[in-house]
Amino acid sequence: MNMKRYAILLLILGVLKTNGFTQDYVTVQYQIKSDLDITYGSAADVAGNVRQLKMDVSYPTDDTVKSCGRPLMILVHGGAFMAGDKAEASLVTLREEFAKRGYVTASVNYRLGLFNTDKQINCNVSSLGVNWNCLNMTDSSEWYRAYYRGIQDVHGAIRYLVNNRTTYRPDANNVFVVGESAGGFIAMGVGFIDDSTEVMNNLTASMSNVNPPNKIYENACVIGLGLDTSIASMNLARPALGPYYGSLNPPLQNTYTIRGVGNFYGGAFNDIFKSHSTVTPVLYTFHQPNDLIVPFGYSRVFAGFNTCAMSFPFNCQGIISRPLMHGSKSIVDLIDTAKAKGQKVPDYLFERTTNNANCATQIANPSTAGHAYDNFTLRRNNLAKYFAPVIDTCGMNSITRPSKLISVSLSPNPLHTGENLIVYGPLEAGSTIEIFSLSGELMNAVKLENPYHQTTVAWSNTRETGVYIVRITSGESTISKRIVVLQ
Indicate the residue among 395, 426, 444 that finishes a domain. Answer: 395
Let me know if residue 17 belongs to a domain.
no
Q: Identify whether residues 227 and 333 lie together within a single domain.
A: yes
| 8 occurs within a structural domain | no
From CA 324, how far away is CA 298, in angstroms rounded? Answer: 7
CATH number for position 431: 2.60.40.1220
Pair (265, 211) in one structural domain: yes
Identity of residue 445: A
Give the other-Cβ count within 10 Å of 328's Cβ: 29
Distance CA 296, CA 325 (A): 10
Query: Domains in the chain: how many in total?
Result: 2
Q: Are residues 74 and 29 located together in one domain of the fold?
A: yes
pLDDT, position 403 = 36
Q: Which domain holds residue 478?
A: 403-486
Return the HEC string of the chain.
CCHHHHHHHHHHHHHHHHCCCCHHHCCCCCCEEEEEEEEEEEEECCCCCEEEEEEEEEEECCCCCCCCCEEEEEEECCCCCCCCCCCCHHHHHHHHHHHHCCCEEEEECCCCCCCECCCCCCCCCHHHCCCCHHHCECCCHHHHHHHHHHHHHHHHHHHHHHHCCCCCCEEEEEEEEEEECHHHHHHHHHHHCCCHHHCCHHHHCCECCCCCCCHHHHHHHHHCCCCCCCCCCCCCCECCCCCCCCCCCCCCCCCCCEEEEEEECCCECCCCCCCCCCCCCEEEEEECCCCCCCCCCEEECCHHHHHHHHCCCCCCCCCCCCCEEECHHHHHHHHHHHHHCCCCCCCEEEEECCCCCCHHHHHHCHHHCCCCCCCHHHHHHHHHHHHHHHCCHHHCCCCCCCHHHCCCEEECCCEECCCCEEEEEEECCCCEEEEEECCCCEEEEEECCCCEEEEEECCCCCCCCEEEEEEEEECCEEEEEEEEEEC
Residue 118 maps to a domain: yes
Identify whether residues 408 and 322 lie together within a single domain.
Answer: no
CA atoms within 13 A on the CB side of 355: 26
Q: Tell me whether residue 15 is in a domain.
A: no
pLDDT digits (tens), the chain, 487 positions:
555 555 555 554 444 444 444 466 999 999 999 999 999 999 999 999 999 999 999 999 999 998 899 999 999 999 999 999 999 999 999 999 999 999 999 999 999 999 999 999 999 887 666 789 999 999 999 999 999 999 999 999 999 999 988 889 999 999 999 999 999 999 999 999 999 999 999 999 999 999 999 999 999 999 999 999 999 999 999 999 999 999 999 988 778 999 999 999 999 999 999 999 889 999 999 999 999 999 999 999 999 999 999 998 889 999 999 999 999 999 999 999 999 999 999 999 999 999 999 999 998 899 999 999 999 999 999 999 999 989 987 753 233 333 333 457 787 888 877 788 888 777 788 888 888 776 567 778 888 887 777 778 876 555 677 778 787 877 756 666 778 888 7
Tell me, yes or no, whether 124 and 265 share the same domain. yes
Which of 356, 375, 395 corresponds to the end of one domain? 395
This prediction has a pTM of: 0.81
Whether residue 304 sits in one domain with residue 276: yes
Residues 387 and 415 in one domain: no
Instruction: Answer positive or negative: Cα dihedral of 19, 352, 257, 423.
Output: positive
With contact defined as beta carbons under 8 Å apart, do 468 and 440 qualify? no
Q: Would you say residue 191 lies in a domain? A: yes
What per-residue confidence (pLDDT) applies to 332? 96
Q: Is 303 in the same domain as 385?
A: yes
**Co-location of 304 and 353 in the same domain:** yes
Residues 445 and 374 in one domain: no
Exposure string for 271-282, b = 16+ CB within 10 A, e = fewer: ebbbbeeeebbb
Query: Which pLDDT score, from 0 to 100, does residue 16 have?
Result: 46
Beta-carbon neighbour count of residue 23 at 10 Å? 12
Closest C-alpha among 336, 376, 369, 335 to residue 355: 369
Rounded to whole angstroms, what are the CA distances from 395 to 19, 66, 68, 314, 467?
8, 11, 8, 57, 21
Burial class (CB in 10 A: 0-12, 13-18, 19+), 34: middle
Q: Is residue 16 part of a domain?
A: no
What is the bridge-based pairing of β-strands 477-486 and 415-416? parallel
- In this structure, the answer to whether residues 176 and 288 fall within a common structural domain is yes
- The reported pLDDT for the residue numbered 23 is 63
Any idea what the CATH number is for the domain that residue 156 is in?
3.40.50.1820
Q: Check: CB of residue 25 under 8 Å from CB of residue 387.
A: yes
14 domain-assigned: no
How far are the Cα atoms of 8, 167, 386, 404 from residue 170, in angstroms, in the given order?
33, 9, 20, 34
Instruction: For residues 389 and 387, give the distance between their C-alpha atoms in angstroms, rounded to a whole number.
Output: 6
Q: Is residue 39 part of a domain?
A: yes
Edge-to-edge order in the sheet of strand 104-108: 32-44, 50-60, 104-108, 70-76, 170-180, 258-264, 282-287, 348-352
Q: What does the alpha-carbon distance between residue 291 and residue 163 come to, in Å, rounded to a whole number?
A: 38
Task: Identify whether residues 29 and 46 lie together within a single domain.
Answer: yes
Domain boundary (377, 395, 413) is at 395
Instruction: State the Rg of the chain over Cα.
Output: 24
